[in-house]
Amino acid sequence: MTQSVVVQVGQCGNQVGCRFWDLALREHAAVNKKGIYDEALSSFFRNVDMRGGGNDPDIYKGKICSLKARALLIDMEEGVVNEILQGPLRDVFDSKQLITDVSGSGNNWAVGHKIYGCQYRENIVEKLRKTAEHCDCLQCFFIIHSMGGGTGSGLGTFVLNLLEEEFPEVYRFVTSVYPSGEDDVITSPYNSVLAMKELNEHADCVLPIENESLFEIVNKIHQMINSGKLGSTVKQNSLVTSSAGSAKTLQEKPFDAMNNIVANLLLNLTSSARFEGSLNMDLNEISMNLVPFPRLHYLVSSLTPLYTLADVNVPSRRLDQMFSDAFSRDHQLIQADPKHSLYLACALLVRGNVQVSDLRRNIERLKPSLHFVSWNQEGWKTGLCSVPPVGHSHSLLALANNTCVKPTFIELKDRFMKLYKKKAHLHHYLQIDGMEQSCFSEAISSLSDLIEEYNELDATKGGPRIDPLRLKIAV
């Protein structure tokens, strides 16, 4: 069994991260009734004996003493991290896992990346090493951050770089929250594009998220509950947005519902690696199957179902509906429509009481309406995990490497160019030590190249299928 470490950077990163740890504890509590520290728990948590008084050695077996998250919390202002440390999750983190400063990055990527990066480099490396030492077999780093600000974006991508240098063999999965069009941070296009270059070059897989999509999903759920159309009541703790049953019973903040969706994404992504199933799908398999060319590693994700009704017997029709929903526009976590673009690869990770025949039936049913690239016509990666998420009898996570990310990137480029042409706010960046005009031109060029790669693939869509000639054997 392998371990993963979560590195949460900046305000967004830490708020999402906080929700993740809360829901992870809830999930394991539901599965692990006897309170034994098992392998599944060890993938994200250490079991520590607190009586040592400062030394806190790890305990590898037996009853749970005190669980500590395998995490690094980084923020250049103290507000968010302090709040976490005063909240119900305070015992899950210890002070050795935090790196904070006071004044923040002023929504400036260069401040986060160049100034704080330089300043905190050694501190970060040391803390990463310590966390890695506590791991038997470290497989993956999960980075959670936003792209539009200064810390998450700048310092977050600095840490990404660092991880590649210091731990080249460990996978780097990045969950990035992209800014929306009406973002109130004016310089978010600059920050995002500068960060994109780092993601292009140093991440193994990126899961882009857009706030708009999360917001729409939250609204959809509210509508469904309040409309009274459903008949039976909805199981509260089954909402993909809910914190019910978790440690955080204080009043929910507005972003909590949205952040819970992202937290659930990460839990489902790692479920097959932690729990048993008839067809396991580990994190290294996700990277292997969904990344056909090194730079095309942006995966569009969708989670279903969003909620479960209280009635227990789920007819197979509802199961099929779950699969259909995973491919609909409304369930994607970015503003994109994979169904009408080109699939390079698709992964389906099912949890709960679903068998291979259900999977096969739905793949057969949905395949005709989807466009797959010519060299991967039957490119499906599937996984079956027996343990369902809390409150559900089954669930589905779909990850698609699909050209539908292109519009998101094109829009980002456009917003960038609008500012850049006028050189608006550029001086805030260029006055930072280590920043030059070339940083900007290289970043936009990297993004343009990426868009071009997607363009070339899109050009093949719908064209005639010409299979390459096979080798001929002399008889």
> Which residues form the interface with another protein (CB under 8 A)?
1-2, 39, 136-137, 139, 276, 278-280, 282, 284-285, 287-294, 316, 344-345, 347, 355-358, 360, 363-364, 367, 374-382, 384, 467-468, 470-473, 475
| Residue 217 contacts residue 331 (beta carbons within 8 Å) | yes
Nearer to another protein, 192 or 272 (CB): 272
Nearer to another protein, 163 or 400 (CB): 400
Q: Is 8 helix (H, G, I), strand (E, B) or coil?
A: strand
Minimum Å distance from CB 186 to another protein? 39
| Residue 303 contacts residue 271 (beta carbons within 8 Å) | no
Give the integer Cα–Cα distance in Å for 322 and 354. Answer: 11
Minimum Å distance from CB 197 to another protein? 20
| Residue 151 contacts residue 16 (beta carbons within 8 Å) | no
Minimum Å distance from CB 45 to another protein? 17
Nearer to another protein, 241 or 402 (CB): 402
Q: Which of 102, 79, 4 is nearest to 44 (CA)?
A: 4
Instruction: Say if residue 305 is preceded by a cis peptide, omega within 30 of 0.
Output: yes
| Residue 25 contacts residue 67 (beta carbons within 8 Å) | yes
Nearer to another protein, 421 or 465 (CB): 465
Minimum Å distance from CB 137 to another protein? 4
Nearer to another protein, 240 or 291 (CB): 291
Nearer to another protein, 56 or 285 (CB): 285
CA–CA distances in Å: residue 192 to residues 178, 188, 197, 416: 7, 6, 9, 9
Minimum Å distance from CB 319 to another protein? 10
| Residue 71 contacts residue 20 (beta carbons within 8 Å) | no
Nearer to another protein, 125 or 387 (CB): 387
CA–CA distances in Å: residue 169 to residues 92, 134, 202: 27, 17, 12
Nearer to another protein, 119 or 280 (CB): 280
Bridge partners for 72 per DSSP = 7
Give the residue ranges of DSSP H helices in 167-210.
188-202
User: Residues 235-269, buried b or exposed e (16+ Cβ, 10 A)?
Assistant: bebbbbbbbbbbbbeeeeeebbbbbbbbbbbbbbb
Minimum Å distance from CB 406 to another protein? 18
Minimum Å distance from CB 193 to another protein? 25
Nearer to another protein, 236 or 287 (CB): 287
How far apart are the two ends of the chain, measured CA to CA in Å?
50
Structure tokens at 138: 């470290």
Minimum Å distance from CB 469 to another protein? 9
Which amino acid belongs to residue 321? Answer: Q
Minimum Å distance from CB 473 to another protein? 4
